[in-house]
Amino acid sequence: MAHMFTYIKPESMISAFNEQKETVLKERSICVARLGDLAVNMSYVNDDAFTLSLEDLKYGTQYSGRVINVDVSDEKDAAEMVEGFFHRMQMIHDQEVLEMREHIWKWYGLKWLEKEGITLDEYLDNIMSNEELKDKIHWKSFEEYIASDYLNVADTMNLISEFALTEEENNIYSKFIASDIIELRQSRSFEALKNQFDHEDEVFENKKSFTFGVEVVADSREEARKKLQSILTDEEDGDFYIIG
């Protein structure tokens, strides 16, 4: 998943507006946060109000907008609105990513049928039949594919090149997977490291340490030293006591 970059903190919207309303905001909008091609922007209305809008920068479309009057709203009110925009932006972005991945998965399915020498009609007839699931023709599930074959950049690039209908579509999907696969690999690596650390922490927490004192019976310091040495090397000699 792409990371969201936040340029103005939700709890600082009105402060940012008051600082910029006489300068930058009178000339252009300010980006509050961005996620892929989506952005939450702040725009000037007048000296007492500004708008927040969720926009698709690629297509120039606007999903929603709100006007905030600084005379009747405080930072908390503005922050709640911004968090709402952030949540919706994340949902839209996640849905777009899911749709792109599903489209590539369907291409993978068509390629799989081609390799197996099965026509699409034969596949559909098999799926529609009353046979047990284990006997049905099927390729990897969406989740299995995304966690395995999809992560091979070269193979996925070749798949896109083969099935994309236009050069533009090929470029869109190629650009998408170039960043998506990197992010998936990073998140998988991070998750693996996190699981490793969690396991080590759990093992460490389950271990108990004990502190003992060793008391030996000796006539001199040198004799005591030798006896202690023999204890540590499993060659006990003479009387000693474990305290603890």
For the stretch 39-89, pLDDT in tens is: 999 999 999 999 999 999 988 888 888 999 999 999 999 999 999 999 999
Domain boundaries, the chain: 5-90, 95-181, 213-243
- Model confidence at 188: pLDDT above 80: no
> What span, in angstroms and rounded, lies between the C-alpha atoms of 125 and 121?
6
pLDDT at position 2, please?
65
Burial-class residue 54 by CB neighbours within 10 Å (0-12, 13-18, 19+): buried
Cα–Cα distance measured from residue 196 to residue 143, given in angstroms and rounded to the nearest whole number: 23
Q: Is the pLDDT of residue 189 over 90?
A: no
Helix (H, G, I), strand (E, B) or coil at 99: helix
88: number of CA atoms within 13 Å, CB side?
16
In this prediction, residue 36 has a pLDDT band, given cuts at 50, 70 and 90, of confident
- Coarse DSSP helix, strand, coil percentages of the chain, rounded to the nearest 5 percent: 55, 15, 25
pLDDT tens for 224-242 read 666 655 655 545 455 544 4
8: CB partners within 8 A, 6+ apart: 16, 30, 32, 33, 42
Q: Which of 213, 215, 216, 222 is nearest to 237 (CA)?
A: 216
The answer to whether the beta carbons of residues 171 and 188 sit under 8 Å apart is no
CB burial of residue 196 (10 Å; 0-12, 13-18, 19+): exposed
Q: For residues 156 and 237, give the distance between their C-alpha atoms in angstroms, rounded to a whole number.
A: 71
How high is the pLDDT of residue 85? 93
* pLDDT recorded at residue 205: 54
pLDDT computed for residue 209 by the predictor: 41
* pLDDT, tens digit (0-9, with 9 covering 90-100), for 80-139: 999 999 999 999 999 999 999 999 999 999 999 898 888 878 877 777 666 665 566 678
Structure pTM? 0.67
